[in-house]
Structure formats: structure tokens, C-alpha cells
Amino acid sequence: MSLQFLQLDSPYNAGLNGPFTLLETPDHQHLAYTESQRGSQWVSDADEVSILARKYAMLRTQALTTQDSMGLLDRLLGDE
């Protein structure tokens, strides 16, 4: 498991449309689960899952690195 935090001072990020979870089944089917104010849904359409996978990749580039995220967490917990 790794943690990466988005900085709060960034006004835009790839996750502004709400949370989503990417999944891969044992037989390598790619799925997504999304949540919004109007409800939640399972996504199995390959094109839609691909869009969310690209959003996830963008979020990872917009977030702090894993090392910087751990440093932030240490500072917030007072361990540094």
C-alpha cells in the first residue's frame, strides 16, 4: 500500500467529479465503481473504465510523491 496526498492549495485536480475505485477481477476484467451526489454505479464499459484509469494516472502525477506524503503525515502527527 502506498499513500499520496493531493495538496489543498491546488484548485483543480482530476478527481473533482467525485470518488471512484478501479478494480481488476481474477480473469483480468477491468471495472470501476463511481460515486456522486446522484448515486453510485458500477462501470464495465471498457472506454469508460479507460477514462477513469487515465484520471487515476493524472491524480498520481498531481499528488505529492509517496515520500513527500509520508513526510507530510509525519509532520501532521508530530513525529518529525
Percent of the chain with pLDDT over 70: 98
Tens-digit pLDDT profile for residues 9-22: 777 777 778 899 99
Tens-digit pLDDT profile for residues 25-38: 999 999 999 998 88
64 burial (CB, 10 Å; 0-12 / 13-18 / 19+) is middle
Q: Is the pLDDT of residue 80 over 70?
A: no
- Given this model, what pLDDT does residue 38 score? 86
Reported pTM: 0.78
3-class SS letters over 32-63: EEEEECCEEEEECCHHHHHHHHHHHHHHHHHC
- Given this model, what pLDDT does residue 16 score? 79
CB 4, CB 64: distance < 8 Å: yes
